[in-house]
Amino acid sequence: MFLKKQVSVILILFISSCSEQNSAEHHSQVENELIALSTVDASILQEIRYTGTNNFLGRPVNGYKDVNDILIQPVAAQALKKAQAELNDQQLSLLVFDAYRPQIAVDHFVEWSLLSEDTLMKAEYYPDFEKPELFEQGYIARESSHTTGYTVDLTLIDLSTGLELDMGSPFDFFGPISHHGAPGLSPKQELNRILLRSTLEHHGFTAYEKEWWHYRFVPVVE
């Protein structure tokens, strides 16, 4: 019996080690595929929120130190370039907050969620939820599609004013008002969200229903 237990423990440790190694190799491969968004289209505006304090943690996020350009998969960058050209004709521009997100940043979100006393940004970003509920409600995940480099968080800018279009809630606001089709939006706010969604979907992105800013590019497999 003791020998069986030893073998079981060894197998669990071996499987766990292999899983961690495979995960590290996968993320390393993804990082090697990424490019800087500005090298594809420098006209696309960027505001990398997780490098500073203007985010739901209220502090820089692990993995974003010295990041000064959005990293993204090449095909997703090309799709954004096409969307940008369409929007420029309407005196609008994309403003990208995030794309590739390293796993260390996702892990930082999880660690932050365990600090119940840290409610620095609660009133601004998640007033109606406690931290564990953010996972239950689907606003934060322990595994994120952002780690693939195909997912982007973004909004629209009016080039004539330099201001963001009113989407009815700020980026990363965790609550029903951020859902697509949320009640209580003004007609203009609804139209702004529809414009962003229709433009991105036209160029191969799919929306996440709980976050108006979150889109994932789906590569076409031939």
**Is 211 considered catalytic here?**
yes
CB 157, CB 92: distance < 8 Å? yes
Using the 8-state DSSP alphabet, how is residue 140 labeled? S
Taking alpha carbons only, the member of 162, 155, 151, 135 closest to residue 199 is 155
Angle between helices 187-202 and 74-88 (to 10 degrees): 130
CB 199, CB 154: distance < 8 Å? no
Q: Which of 25, 164, 201, 211 is catalytic?
A: 211
Cα–Cα distance for residue pair 103/141, rounded to 1 Å: 11
CB 217, CB 79: distance < 8 Å? yes
Cα–Cα distance for residue pair 91/160, rounded to 1 Å: 7
Task: Please name the residue that has the structure tokens 């071996």.
Answer: 14
Using the 8-state DSSP alphabet, how is residue 205 labeled? E
Q: List active site positions.
A: 211
